[in-house]
């Protein structure tokens, strides 16, 4: 048999190649594919929100400022002095020399130490101490026109003497309920003592043996 050069080389390679002794190793089976994750279902409903617990901390009181309205305004000065303003008004009078420009005096009804007094003047920077409102009306020559509620008052308020020197400078502290005041004692009428009648004169005695005619001594 005639072999071609190429065929001879191929035959020689087959004869020289080692033959397998044992059975050929089986091929490893392909690993199974991982199971696909199931598609996620709809999310569970959220639990209902509970109502927030009430705050037990008391709410802070709003800052107290003027005007105090239907309440009273407390002013304090040095050495523990306190004055509570309960009413505010004005006295308007006419000066004959200036009839077109009425004179206006500010009047404050105040409580100091449980007693009612007043403070009056042309403005809140120069107020003078006063007594009862009726006495201020008589002194200024006109009625006090009280305002229904307290307006915004000056801060501070100065109390001066008749000469103008400062007695006290009071600073606003807070609004408060009007304090109780001591009732002024009612003047008691003096009882008139009964008029004393003069004692009747004793009848004059006639000497013995002498008779006095009737009507001789006037009663």
The predicted-structure confidence for 93-150, as pLDDT tens digits, reads as follows 887 888 788 889 999 999 988 899 999 998 887 899 888 899 999 998 899 999 999 9
Q: Which of 9-18, 136-145, 191-200, 205-214 has the highest mean pLDDT?
A: 136-145
Secondary structure of residue 9 in the 3-state scheme: helix
Measuring CA to CA, how many Å separate 49 from each of 42, 45, 54, 200? 20, 12, 15, 110
pTM: 0.54
State residue 110's pLDDT score.
93
C-alpha to C-alpha distance for 65 and 69, rounded to whole angstroms: 10
Q: How confident is the model at residue 33, as a pLDDT?
A: 57
Over residues 165-177, the mean pLDDT reads 90
pLDDT band at 62 (very low <50, low <70, confident <90, very high): very low
pLDDT confidence bin for 63, thresholds 50/70/90: very low
Whether the per-residue pLDDT at 3 is higher than 60: the answer is no
Verify cis geometry, omega within 30 degrees of 0, for the bond prior to 156: yes
Query: How far separated are the first and last CA of the chain, in Å rounded?
Result: 214
């Amino acid at each position: 048999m005639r072999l071609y050069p190429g065929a001879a080389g191929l035959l020689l390679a087959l004869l020289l190649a080692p033959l397998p002794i044992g059975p050929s190793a089986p091929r490893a089976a392909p690993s199974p594919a991982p199971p696909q994750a199931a598609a996620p279902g709809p999310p569970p409903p959220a639990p209902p929100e509970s109502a927030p617990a009430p705050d037990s901390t008391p709410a802070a009181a709003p800052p107290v400022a003027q005007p105090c309205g239907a309440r009273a305004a407390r002013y304090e000065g040095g050495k523990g002095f306190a004055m509570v303003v309960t009413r505010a008004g004005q006295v308007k009078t006419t000066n004959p020399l200036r009839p077109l420009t009425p004179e206006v005096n500010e009047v404050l009804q105040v409580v100091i130490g449980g007693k009612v007094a007043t403070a009056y003047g042309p403005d809140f920077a120069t107020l003078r101490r006063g007594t009862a409102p009726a006495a201020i009306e008589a002194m200024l020559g006109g009625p006090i026109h009280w305002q229904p509620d307290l307006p915004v008052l000056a801060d501070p308020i100065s109390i001066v003497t008749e000469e103008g020197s400062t007695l006290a400078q009071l600073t606003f502290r807070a609004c408060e309920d009007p304090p109780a005041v001591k009732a002024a004692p009612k003047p008691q009428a003096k009882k008139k003592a009964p008029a004393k009648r003069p004692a009747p004169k004793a009848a004059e005695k006639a000497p013995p043996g002498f008779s006095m005619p009737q009507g001789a001594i006037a009663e």
